[in-house]
Amino acid sequence: MTEFLLEARDLKKSYPRSSRLLATAAGDDEERIAAVNGVSIELAVGETLAIVGESGCGKTTLARMLLRLIEPDSGEIRFAGQDLRAVRGAELRALRREMQMIFQDPFASLNPRMRVGELVGEPLAIHEPAMSRRERLERTAAVLERVGMGADALGRHAHEFSGGQRQRIGIARALILRPKLLVADEPVSALDVSVGAQILELLAELQREFSLTVLLISHSLPVVAQLATRVAVMQVGNFVETGPAERILNQPAHPYTRALLAAVPEVPAA
Amino acid sequence: MARLLDVHGLTVELPVAGGWVRPVNDVSLHIETGEALGLVGESGSGKTMLSLALMGLLPEGARASGEAWLAEEDATSKGVGNDPKNLLTLKEQELQKVRGREIGMVFQEPMTSLNPVMRVGAQIEETVRAHEPSVSWSEARARALAALERAAVPEPKVRAQQFPHQLSGGLRQRAMIAMALADGGSGPRLLIADEPTTALDVTVQKQILELLDRLRRELRLGLLFITHDLGVVARVADRLAVMYAGRIIEEGPAREVLVRPWHPYTEGLLGASPKLKRGKLLPIAGNVPRLDELPPGCAFEPRCALRRPECAAAVPELRAASADHRARCILV
């Protein structure tokens, strides 16, 4: 029987069409735009599910709801068997450490005032306050080394590093708590091709090594093709097609999936 | 075909603490009338600085040397005549005439190039009149509408009355293309497009690439298409030039360069590009070198799997791999 790490039913989130003040003034405060319009999703332990879609399709809103970074209007979310929308306080914190996220822009997501050692070790300091400084430092150095950064990075600031190195730092920060779920939101979109390939290969290795369940958010089908075991294609707030990556990429059933595939500019084959 | 743009030994230098760096280093390239040249490189390769030098838009303090000849327009047809001008030595006043009128420009993010508080049509009209003050407002208006139509903007009359934020990203880029091509009776002969589709969704990107390709054929434009994306360039370019650390390291017919690359960096970029067919990506080790810390020999040598001792000694020349395919590598 398949074991699910994350299950969500009929998630909905809508936003007012314009700001409340303007909407009220215009008398149309009932008018709302559905960002996510009743999506159900299941993530099996150890799989990499990619949500692919164009800008505005709702994929980032969906990912943020699944992590409870934003509240859904309605729907259910279960994480490791627990009702994620009902848990509070210490229970929620305990679940939070099991789910970590890396972002598109490693330039914006790392505090510029903190040294890399503090940045990467901070989640440990928060979730395991009893841990000695020495052990925290050792764990920090170890995870940095695992993502390909030397110990000399510990005392430096994030801005001293290139985009690819910063993304490695972001990955180290996400993995130091040994989470079960890693959400990667456009992890290579801001990087050069040669560096993006390094990050994609690193993510594939780490997924195997740590038995991670990965939720990949991307607009790029070629990026999705490198990592995903399953793919969900999203358009204006709904999944239009889901299935094994092989099938979606080679025998797409939905016209929108076909259009997306046909639009991918590919290098001619040798 | 006639040569439209001919660049020889173009070097751009920028002041840094303690000296100068060369984001563009001894670059030579040419574009024929109606031809699309793809200029490919990662960030810091110098591809954008090269295009800015051609348009006379280099940042304050930069200095450029070399030659960049733009052929004079032939009065009789939309061909090129015999009296070229060097873009690098033109006075600012002359450059202003060239920009827009003879060279059109399209950038990555149309929102930053369009005036947010001015209607789209009015911006195009203003551009037309800035370069040709004798044109009447009604004539400028007619040209703006014609340009929007040429750029396949649906309902051009409606769109002309809208502000940039009311348009989608794809429509804004079409409006930019319309503006770039609206000028002069005949419009520019050279279009420089710097990452024009990078900010767009793939389905929209496809439409914009098709539009640029169609306009190039219909208007016999020379196109300098700058991008980091090998797949995109494969769709638009006749020929390719690949830049690394300020130099062209490989050039040739697009298909040949992409299918049988000679330079290990070009091969590396191809191996590192994700494809729809799953396969192990082959990342290039290391990072692009800083311009103030370039190695004395081949700039790619420190990252190159095929390096030999002599690679570190001197910068290799561009060597001919075939009649029209050259690479800056001693293995050629």
Pairing of β B3-16 and β B63-70: antiparallel
Which residues of chain B from 228 to 257 reach within 8 Å of chain A, CB to CB?
228-232, 234-235, 255
Residue B256 has pLDDT above 70, yes or no: yes
Residue A150 near chain B (CB below 8 Å): no
A3 pLDDT more than 90: no
d(CA B159, CA B149): 10
**Count of C-beta atoms within a 10 Å radius of residue A40:** 13
Interface subset of A 41-70, CB within 8 angstroms of B: 54-55
pLDDT digits (tens, 9 = 90+) for B116-154: 999 999 999 998 888 788 889 999 999 999 999 999 999
- Strand-pair partners of A236: none
The neighbour count for residue B61, using CB atoms within 10 Å, is 9
pLDDT of residue B133: 85
Instruction: Tell whether A208 is within 8 A of chain B (Cβ).
Output: no
Residue B11 has pLDDT above 70, yes or no: yes
Cβ B42–A193 below 8 Å, yes or no? yes
> For residue B27, which of B5, B50, B48 has the smallest C-alpha distance?
B50
B305 at A interface, C-beta within 8 A: no
Which pLDDT belongs to residue B202?
93
More confident site: B82 or A127? A127
Nearest to B25 by CA among B319, B252, B244, B257: B244
Q: What is the DSSP string of A186-238?
A: STTTTS-HHHHHHHHHHHHHHHHHTT-EEEEEES-HHHHHHH-SEEEEEETTE
**Is a pLDDT exceeding 70 seen at residue B81?**
no
Q: How far apart are CA A179 and CA A151, in angstroms?
A: 23
Q: Which of B263, B281, B293 best probes binding to A when mutated, by most A CB atoms within 10 angstroms?
A: B281
Token duo for residue A24 = 């009220």
Give the C-alpha separation, B297 to B315, whole Å: 4
Contact B235 A265 (CB under 8 A): yes
Position B159 scores a pLDDT of: 95
Residue whose structure tokens are 């999936």:
A257
Using CB atoms within 10 Å of the CB of residue A194, give its burial: 0 to 12 exposed, 13 to 18 middle, 19+ buried.
Answer: buried
CB–CB contact A192 B235 (8 Å): no
How many CB contacts within 8 angstroms connect chain A with chain B?
107
CB spacing of A197 vs B282 below 8 angstroms:
yes
Tell me which residue in B273, B278, B281 faces A201 most closely, judged by beta carbons: B281
Per-residue pLDDT reduced to its tens digit, B180-232: 888 655 678 899 999 999 889 999 999 999 999 999 999 999 999 999 999 99
Distance, CA of A222 to CA of B230 (rounded, Å) = 13
Assess whether pLDDT exceeds 80 at residue B77.
no
Residue A158 has a CB neighbour count (10 Å cut-off) of 21
Is pLDDT of B75 > 70?
no
In angstroms, the separation between the Cα of residue A154 and the nearest Cα of chain B is 19
**Nearest residue in chain A measured CA to CA from B235:** A265
Q: Contact B276/A249, CB-based, under 8 Å? A: yes
Token pair, residue A30, equals 């009932």
**What pLDDT was estimated at residue A74?**
96
B277 → chain A, closest CA residue: A225
Q: Per-residue pLDDT tens for A77-100?
A: 999 999 999 999 999 999 999 999
pLDDT on residue A269: 76
Q: Let me know how long chain B is.
A: 332
pTM score:
0.90
Residue A62 has pLDDT above 80, yes or no: yes
- Closest CA–CA distance from residue A235 to any residue of chain B (Å): 12
Res B74: pLDDT: 58
CA A194 to CA B211: how far, in whole Å? 29
CA–CA dist A17, A30 (Å, integer) = 9
B105-125: average pLDDT: 89
Is the confidence at residue A23, as pLDDT, over 80? no
Residue A212: pLDDT above 70?
Answer: yes
Map tokens 């992590």 to a residue: A67
The answer to whether the Cβ–Cβ distance between A194 and B234 falls below 8 Å is no
- Per the document, the length of chain A is 270
**What are the chain B neighbours of A168 within 8 Å (beta carbons)?**
none
Mutate to test the interface with A, among B233, B242, B280, B287 (most CBs of A within 10 A): B287
Q: Which residues of B262-290 are buried (b: 16+ CB within 10 A; e: fewer)?
A: bbbbbbbbbbbbbbeebeebbbbeebbbe
A245 interaction partners in chain B (CB closer than 8 Å)? 278
Report the Cα–Cα distance between both ends of chain A, in Å, rounded: 43
Contact A193 B269 (CB under 8 A): yes
Among chain B residues, CA nearest to A226: B278
Q: How confident is the model at residue A205 (pLDDT cuts 50, 70, 90)?
A: very high
pLDDT at A30: 60
Nearest to A217 by CA among A203, A205, A206: A203
- Tell me which DSSP letter residue A115 carries: B
Q: Indicate the pLDDT class of residue A22, thresholds 50, 70 and 90.
A: low
Distance CA A60, CA A51 (A): 9
Q: What does the pLDDT look like over A149-197, one tens digit per residue?
A: 988 999 999 888 888 999 999 999 999 999 999 999 999 998 989 899 9
Q: Using an 8 Å CB-CB cutoff, list chain B residues near A161.
A: none
Q: Is the pLDDT of residue B43 over 90?
A: no
Q: Hey, of B242, B278, B280, B293, which one would you mutate to test binding to chain A, going by the most A CBs within 10 A of its CB?
A: B278
> How crowded is residue B320: how many other Cβ atoms within 10 Å of its Cβ?
13
**pLDDT mean across residues, chain A:** 91
Give yes or no for residue B76 having a pLDDT over 80.
no
Model pLDDT, residue B164: 93
